[in-house]
Amino acid sequence: MTAEVPEVTDEDFGAEVLGADLPVLVEFTADWCPPCRQMAPVLRALAAEEGERLRVVQLNVDRNPETTNHYKVLSMPTFMVFRGGEPVKAMVGARPKRRLLEELSDVL
């Protein structure tokens, strides 16, 4: 089972991510980024499996420079977990789902 991973923008980042009840995993991504494309099925599976405990979204860095610059994202993909409106964890680079779940275990 897989779930779609919605895209957030500079305009709705505050409401969708910072104002969310659940922790939110944001993938800062770009269309030109092969490792980002590699992560797409992993993120869909994660969203489907952990949807009760974690919201998964993507933010395109090229179309949303304000948020990208605010969080000083320089490499793609960068994953940030937000809880209660604050970033609580950041990870850079593609990784297998098992490793991603291990790294998220302390924030779920």
The domain that holds 85 is classified in CATH as 3.40.30.10
Domain containing 40 equals 7-102
Which entry of 8, 17, 26, 36 is annotated as an active-site residue?
36
Domain count, the chain: 1
Identify the band that residue 3 occupies on the pLDDT scale cut at 50, 70 and 90: confident
- Catalytic, 6? Answer no
What does pTM read for this prediction?
0.96
Which entry of 33, 57, 76, 100 is annotated as an active-site residue?
33
Please write the tens of the pLDDT for every residue from 52-80.
999 999 999 999 999 999 999 999 999 99
Please write the tens of the pLDDT for every residue from 28-39.
999 999 999 999
pLDDT at 58: 98
Contact 22, 54 (CB under 8 A): yes
- Catalytic, 64? Answer no
In a domain? residue 2: no
